[in-house]
Amino acid sequence: MQPANAQSLSEFEDKVTEFTLDNGLTFIVIERPVAPVVSFATYVNVGGANEPVGHTGMAHIFEHMAFKGTHTVGTNNWEAEKKALKKLDNTYQQWLDEKYEPEPDTAKMNKLWDKFKKLQEKAGEYVVNNEFSQIVDRNGGTGMNATTNQDRTNYFYSLPENRMELWFSLESDRFKNPVFREFYKEKEVVREERRMRTESRPVGRLFEEFSAVAYTAHPYGRPTLGWDSDITATTMEDAREFYNTYYVPNNITFAIAGDVTVEEAKKLANKYFGDLKEGPTPPPVYTQEPEQRGERRFTIKGKSQPFLLMGYHTVAQDHPDAKALELLGSILASGRTSKLYKPLVEEKEIALGFQLLNGVPGQKYESLFALLGVPNRGFSADTLESAILEQIEKIKEGNISQEELDRVRTKARASLIRGMDSNMGLASTLASAESMRGDWRKVFTDLEKLQDVTVDDVVRVANEYLTKDNRTVGAIVTKSEKKKEVADANK
C-alpha cells in the first residue's frame, strides 16, 4: 500500500480493519508489510476540556504517570510501595487541607511537610527508575512518547514485528494496573513545563491570556498545562478518580500499523485486553460557549518584541463550514503566496511573519480561527492589526481567485496524505479520527469535503465569522507603547 499516492477511501478500506472487544475497546489494524516494523498509537478521548474545575492540568499529569510502570514494572516491592504511597497521599492531603484554612497553622504545615518529604523518600526506595521505557528500548522500540491537548491524550511507539506481543503485554498492564509512582515529583516536572512553555515565553503567556479572554464559559479557556495553584491542589486520589472516569475501554482507541495481520492482532487483543473491565460512559462536556456580544481586547506589558494575536469564534471540526474556514486560513496567512505575506512582509515590511492558528485551542468543540503576527521593527501591534483587517475586508469583498483556492486546496490534500506516509502517521491519523470523531473514515471524507469548497464558500464564511463583534485581540507591547496607548485614550 502506498499512502502518498492513495486519495480515496476505497484504496484504504481493503487494508484497514476495525474491531471492538466486548468491553468496548476499539482496535484499528492497518496492514502495511513494507518492513518488519509495527507502530502503535493509543488515543484516549480525554483532554484538558474534560478536567474537573480546580484540577486543570490533570490530563497532562496523568499522561506522565502512564510511563511510571505498573504493579510489576518499575517497582522492587509493590505491596510495600503501595502502603507507602497511601501514607504519602494522606499526608499531602492533610497538608493541603491546612494550607487552605482561612488562617493556616504554619507550624502544623511545616510538620506535615517534613513528614511528607520523609514518606516520599521512603516510597522512592521501592522505585526502579525508567524500567518501562528500558524494556521498550531493549527490545528495539523507537519513538516512545505521549502528548496531551484540550481534546485527547495519546501514547505511541514502534517495535520490531517479532516484538508485537510485548506491546500488548505492556500496554494492557499499564491500563489494567495504573500506579501513581513518584506522583508528587512528576507534578514538579509538569510545573517546570508550565514555567518553560508559558511563563517564560512571551507567546506562551499571550496565548494563555488570549484563550481565557476569548472563552468565558467553555473549558477551552483553561490551560492544558494547568494553573499553578491547581497543580498544587491535585492529589493521587484525584488522579485515580480521573483515571476511573475517563480511562475506560469504550473511551480508548488503539491503532496498529505495519507488518501485522488482523488475525494475530485479534488473538493478542483478546488475550491481553479481553479481561479489562468495562467502565461507565464518561460524562460529556455540557458547557457551551455563549455568543460573543462584542469585541474583546487586552494587552500585556513586556520586555520582548511586540506580538499580535487575533481570533474569531468559529466551528468544531465536523461542522459543514470547517473546510471552507481551513482553506480561508491558508489563503490569508499560509506561506509566501498568502494574502498577508506579500503586501505586509515583502512590500510594506510591516510584519516579520505570521502563524496561522486555525482550530485552537481544540477542534472537538467550537473553536477559534486565530492569527499570530510579529510586527517589524518600528511598527506597533496596532499598525499591524489595521493592515491585517484591511486584507480580511478585501477577502470579504470577494478578492479571491479560483487559482488561489486551487493552490491551497492542493497543499491541504498533500499535507493530509503526506501525514500518512509512515506506519506511525497512519496509526495516529486513523486513531485520532476514530477516537475524537467516531469514524476513521472521516480522514478520507475530509479530502472529498476539501474538493467541494468553492470561492463563494470561502467568501461567505469570511463574512459570517470574521466580524468585529466576534473578535478577540491580544497584544504584547513594550512599556513605551503602553504609555502611548493610555495617553491617546485620554486625549
- Give the Cα separation of 36 and 27 in Å (integer): 20
pTM: 0.93
pLDDT, one tens digit for every residue, the chain (491 residues): 444 334 467 777 889 999 999 999 999 999 999 999 999 999 999 999 999 999 999 999 999 999 999 999 999 999 999 999 999 999 999 999 999 999 999 999 999 999 999 999 999 999 999 999 999 999 999 999 999 999 999 999 999 999 999 999 999 999 999 999 999 999 999 999 999 999 999 999 999 999 999 999 999 999 999 999 999 999 999 999 999 999 999 999 999 999 999 999 999 999 999 999 998 999 999 999 999 999 999 999 988 889 999 999 999 999 999 999 999 999 999 999 999 999 999 999 999 999 999 999 999 999 999 999 999 999 999 999 999 999 999 999 999 999 999 999 999 999 988 888 899 999 999 999 999 999 999 999 998 899 999 999 999 999 999 999 999 999 999 866 544 444 444 44
Structure confidence at residue 4 (pLDDT): 39
Calculate the CA dihedral of residues 364, 369, 375, 376 and round it to 10 degrees: 90
The C-alpha cell that represents 446 in the structure block: 475530509
Cell 484497514 belongs to 16
Question: Nearest 5 degrees, angle CA 110-CA 115-CA 117?
Answer: 95
- Give the Cα separation of 183 and 75 in Å (integer): 14
Q: Answer whether 217's CB lies under 8 Å from 479's CB.
A: no
DSSP 8-class letter at 363: S
Residues 6+ away with beta carbon under 8 Å from 150: 47, 48, 49, 219, 220, 224, 361, 362, 364
Structure confidence at residue 276 (pLDDT): 94
What is the separation of C-alpha 108 from the centre of its chain, rounded to a whole number of angstroms? 40
Residue limits of CATH 3.30.830.10 in the chain: 14-75+127-274, 296-478
Q: Answer whether 77's CB lies under 8 Å from 185's CB.
A: no
- Give the Cα separation of 85 and 81 in Å (integer): 6
Fold of 296-478: Cytochrome Bc1 Complex; Chain A, domain 1 (3.30.830)
- Give the Cα separation of 348 and 332 in Å (integer): 17
Structure confidence at residue 416 (pLDDT): 87
Kindly report the backbone phi and psi dihedral angles of residue 441, in degrees, each rounded to the nearest multiple of 5, phi listed first: -65, -15
Upper half-sphere CA count for residue 471 (Cβ side, 13 Å):
17
Structure confidence at residue 3 (pLDDT): 41
Q: Answer whether 374's CB lies under 8 Å from 351's CB.
A: yes
Tell me the residue length of the chain: 491
How many other C-beta atoms are found inside a 10 Å radius of the C-beta of residue 231?
Answer: 20
Structure confidence at residue 302 (pLDDT): 80
Structure confidence at residue 481 (pLDDT): 52
Instruction: Please state which CATH class domain 14-75+127-274 belongs to.
Output: alpha beta
